[in-house]
Structure 1
Amino acid sequence: MRAAARRLRRKLGRRGHALALLGVGKCCYGAGYILTPQPETRGLELLTDHGSIRWWAMVWVVCGAVTFGSAWLRIGRDRFGFISALIPPFVWGFAFLWAAGAGDFPRGLAIFGWYATSHVGIILWAASVPEYEVPHTVRREAP
């Protein structure tokens, strides 16, 4: 069991772990909207004017699946996972910003800030993390 966990850890690497976690989280977030009988849509009117909330929730699920699947790819080929991870929070964050700017949903500004930092910011940071970092070496002075 431990050997399998070590192989999995080596296979995923640092960026893969981030993509796997982000992907599962996005799938769960979208599923929450899909499975809720009457999901809250205040602030998302910009989106729901062009499709149902369940359709927009499926965007989270599909992008989450692409993000999770990209966790298993080599560095460089995993970029589509990071791009797909950015799409739902960027789109929904913009919709909340739009609703706040229009005065329809003042809380949308706070939700936009949350998406911008806790989602988009973290994804951009994770995309910039190198897979392996060379540790700093300490040089000893000769006596």
Structure 2
Amino acid sequence: MPHILIVEDEAAIADTLIFALQGEGFTTTWLSLGAAALEHQRQTPADLIILDIGLPDISGFETCKQLRRFSEVPVLFLSARDAEIDRVVGLEIGADDYVVKPFSPREVAARVRAILKRMAPRPVVEASSTLFRIDAERVQITY
């Protein structure tokens, strides 16, 4: 079951995300500070981080920059900042997606599922020879 770290300083927004994501089968952790999120990711890595930009200690942009120094965890920015430049900067510093507030909790959950699906390991395709064929997915060798 994928674990989602929510980094959001507004409790009502965090509660909405927690409800929507847990309803989809995800486990969640909620933190309200960027520095705490960085430490959490070092100690107990999440599978995806939903990150607000306007945090009280360090900005979500700075949190993402620092995060990218040690982790490739998928990041979805969730912010009231809807200017094109903010969206572009967020994606250029390493975010996988950017959602503007107000948002649909179902859409955020769908975006989380899509990102995690894209990040899932793909099955290894084995080379085959003329004498036999290896089907790794079915765990079969045909001679």
Higher RCO (CA-CA < 8 Å; seq separation 6+): 1
TM-score normalized with structure 1 length: 0.31
TM-score normalized with structure 2 length: 0.31
Higher helix share: 1
Higher strand share: 2
